[in-house]
Structure 1
Amino acid sequence: MTDIARLVHNVDQQGFAELDKIGLNGQRDQGLVCTLISRDLSGSDDLCVSWGRILPGQHHLCHHHPDASEFYVVISGTPLVHLGDTEYRARPGDGIYIPRGTRHGLTNDGDTAVDLVVGVSKPADWQFVPDE
């Protein structure tokens, strides 16, 4: 029998948590995350998927993952995406692939929240290496 309670999770029921990473100069990572698929939550052995929210004025620290690739799908807002040595103005509907080891981060310099789906190619325990 399929365990729907383990396989299906809703952002409104799970709720958001504040990002908890620290940058190279002691600055706090900013934004909210709600994990929807992971090893612990869903039994996934190959990916982690979350709903991210970056509020106006917040900055998700530039960092990289030496052991995992990542993607963003922008649902709402127009964040400034820091990707390698480039900055890109994203818009709703953009899918952004971040290869393993690539420096990346987000800045919400707009007036509305940025919502995005975030996926990582490991179910848990990937490394977050701050680059700022």
Structure 2
Amino acid sequence: MPTDISRLVHNVNEQGFTALEKTGLRGQQDQGLVSTLISRDLSGSDDLCVSWGRILPGQHHLCHHHPDASEFYVVISGAPLVHLGDTDYRAKPGDGIYIPRGTTHGITNDGDEDVNLVVGVSKPADWQFVADE
């Protein structure tokens, strides 16, 4: 019996992006775009969620943490300022960044090109987003 790939393969260019929807502690809007590629609802995953993220020039993805999930970023393009705990790191294409559960993190695109990154979370859905700013 052939494998049904309709739930297993998703393409960012076909799906497009949606705007991030979280709100910060002072009512500020989270900024950036996301296209989910692997998740519980989309793919039937029971152990992870993977998305393509895009942060446009001048945008800031709010600093936050996940008490119930670890996360990673793989930078595809751009040179964002990645906030990790109390440290800021100037990322570059090819960087893999691990964010342990409970670690405050966020991204600022202070450059003039789009930041594209692959984002993975260690839960397939329903992880907690706790704003830290």
Percent identity between matched residues is 85
1:91-130 matches, cutoff 5 A: 91-130=92-131
Residue identity in the other structure for 1:61: L
- Give TM-score scaled by structure 2 length: 0.99
- Give TM-score scaled by structure 1 length: 0.99
Runs of 4+ in structure 1 off by over 6 angstroms are: none
- TM-fit CA distance, 1:15: 0.7
1:18-37 matches, cutoff 5 A: 18-37=19-38
1:37-48 matches, cutoff 5 A: 37-48=38-49
Q: Distance in 1 between matches of 2:6 and 2:14?
A: 12
- TM-fit CA distance, 1:72: 0.0
SS state at 2:34 partner: strand
Q: Distance in 1 between matches of 2:103 and 2:86?
A: 9
Q: Distance in 1 between matches of 2:100 and 2:3?
A: 33
Query: 2:71 maps to which residue?
Result: 70
SS state at 2:7 partner: helix
Write the deviation string for residues 68-122 of structure 1: whole angstroms up to 9, x where unpaired: 0000000000000000000000000000000000000000000000000000000
1:85 aligned to 2:86? yes
Residue identity in the other structure for 2:59: Q
Write the deviation string for residues 31-57 of structure 1: whole angstroms up to 9, x where unpaired: 000000000000000000000000000
Segments of structure 2 that go 5 or more residues without pairing to the other structure are: none
RMSD of equivalent CA atoms: 0.4
Query: 1:17 maps to which residue?
Result: 18
Q: Distance in 1 between matches of 2:93 and 2:10?
A: 23
